[in-house]
Amino acid sequence: MKPPLVKVVNLTKDYHLPRQKLFAKAPVFRALNGIDFEVARGSSFGIVGESGCGKSTLARIVMALDKPTGGEVYFEGRELFSLSTKALNALRKNFQMVFQDPYGSLNPRKKVLAIVAEPLDVLPEKLTTGRRQERVEDTLEEVGLNRRDVDKYPHEFSGGQRQRIAIARALITRPSLIVADESVSALDVSVQAQVLNLMMDLQEKYNLTYIFISHDLSVVEYVTDVVAVIYLGKIVEQGKTRDLFRMPLHPYTKTLLAAVPDIDPSKKRQRTARKEGIFTDGASGACPFQPRCREATEICGQVNPSLELKGNQRVACHHV
Ligand code: ADP
Ligand code: MG
């Protein structure tokens, strides 16, 4: 049997925060705590959770843009962080990321040609100028843009078109995995659907595997096969998207599915994460969701539940 395209094993990430007092120890914030999952080739894996729960941290590590504190990431069976820099860089063309903010992530001073060709330019095999431009133009067509757009600047495009440019840039090295971190969050709903449909068409055409990260449940429900729900750096529930949306088991998933979106949740939630989050010094064994959980009992304050299979879903809760 072929290994899963991506396998994440017991991933942990600690951030060292600024010291509160001159001689005090710097507090260590655990942004990811024992994350594990597998993504099958050709599937779409969703990661949902509130702002500050660790989604982008996880994305950066899976893309090998940042190192974990502990744990492993396997891509096609090879562990990324035990590869040599050279071997890792040779592998990079196989996984690309579409970033959160198409305004910030596209260099406003560069033309589309240079922006989309950038991932090609870091490959060991160099293309001729003509072939390079041809590849960019072909890829622009793939994402529903015009070949002549190579000579334009990002500001000449709408938000949806800019996101298409970002997708073209990810697609140009013909990756097998694309990680999309809040890729459509900045777009109007109708434009979101167009971009998501494009991504699903591309998936079918190229047998792409996606990791879709979003705080927006409707986006994840629309495009993914399997979804993991993260709360404060820990997967609290995972299952087939259809099952999980129909029958959420974890109290946090239930809250998420019932929640009315906040106007600007990101700032508040980041603060909540910091306040309630797990600090590795004096880390307690409590369930991370326990302070907000209506179903919490004594054991929830004492033992952090592990992720266990309940039917077809994985759930970390003492009361399921
Ligand atoms: P999300 O993408 O789910 O909003 P992030 O992965 O960006 O969450 O952040 C997870 C947590 O880690 C947050 O509390 C955030 O403030 C913290 N964090 C992220 N990056 C850093 C960093 N470089 N240094 C310290 N803390 C960080
Ligand atoms: Mg993020």
Q: For position 103, what pLDDT does the model report?
A: 62
Residue with tokens 């969703």: 46
- Of all protein residues, the one whose alpha carbon is nearest to atom 12 of ligand 1 is 31
Q: Yes or no: say if 42 and 220 are a contact pair by the CB < 8 Å rule.
A: no
Is residue 107 included in any domain, yes or no? no
Give the binding-site residues of ligand 1, using a 6 Å CB cut-off. Answer: 15, 29, 31, 49, 51-57, 270, 273-274
Instruction: Look at residue 309 and tell me if it is in a domain.
Output: yes
- pLDDT value for 2: 74
Within a domain: residue 54?
no
The total number of residues written for the chain in this structure: 320
Distance CA 227, CA 243 (A): 10
Is residue 263 included in any domain, yes or no? yes
pLDDT for residue 258: 86
| Ligand 1 atom closest to residue 58's alpha carbon, by position in its atom list | 6
Q: Residue-wise pLDDT tens for the chain (320 aa)?
A: 678 999 999 999 999 888 888 888 888 899 999 999 999 999 999 999 999 999 999 999 999 999 999 999 999 999 999 999 999 999 999 999 998 765 677 889 999 999 999 999 888 888 999 999 999 999 999 999 999 999 999 999 999 999 999 999 999 999 999 999 988 888 888 899 999 999 999 999 999 999 999 988 999 999 999 999 999 999 999 999 999 999 999 999 999 998 755 444 454 444 455 555 555 544 568 898 988 898 999 999 889 999 999 999 999 999 98
- Give the pLDDT confidence score for residue 291 in this predicted structure: 87
Q: What is the pLDDT of residue 265?
A: 47
Answer left, alpha or beta for residue 182, where phi above 0 means left and psi between -120 and 50 means alpha: left
What residues form DSSP beta bridges with 48?
A: 214, 229
d(CA 145, CA 155): 15
Nearest CA, atom 24, ligand 1? 15
- Cα of 154 from ligand 2 centre, angstroms: 23
Structural domain that includes position 256: 250-320
Q: What is the 3-state secondary structure (H, E, C) of 97-152?
A: EECCCHHHHCCCCCCHHHHHHHHHHCCCCCCCHHHHHHHHHHHHHHCCCCHHHHHC
From the alpha carbon of 54, which atom of ligand 1 is closest?
A: 6
Within a domain: 139: no
At residue 264, the pLDDT reads: 46
Q: Could you tell me the two tokens for 16? A: 């060292």
Cβ contact 35:8 at 8 Å: yes
Report the residue among 47, 57, 229 best suited for mutation to probe ligand 1: largest number of ligand atoms under 8 A from its CB. 57
Taking the CA of residue 274 as reference, the ligand 1 atom at the shortest distance is 14
Total number of domains in the chain: 1
CB 227 within 8 A of CB 213: no
Please tell me the predicted confidence (pLDDT) of residue 147.
97
**Closest ligand 1 atom to 53 CA:** 3
Residues 6+ apart with CB under 8 A from 203: 42, 44, 209, 210
Do 160 and 181 form a contact (C-beta atoms < 8 A)? no
- Tell me the C-alpha distance between 211 and 79, whole Å: 18
Cβ(9)–Cβ(83) under 8 Å? no
Supply the pLDDT for residue 123. Answer: 84
- The rounded Å distance from CA 91 to ligand 2 centre is 24
Q: Which numbered ligand comes closest to the C-alpha of 52?
A: 1
Query: Is 218 a member of any domain?
Result: no
Distance, in Å, from the CA atom of 92 to the CA atom of 81, rounded to the nearest integer, reads 12
Instruction: Show the tokens assigned to 93.
Output: 């063309």
How many angstroms does the Cα of residue 300 sit away from the middle of ligand 1? 25
Residue 91 lies in a domain: no
The answer as to whether 307 is a domain residue is yes
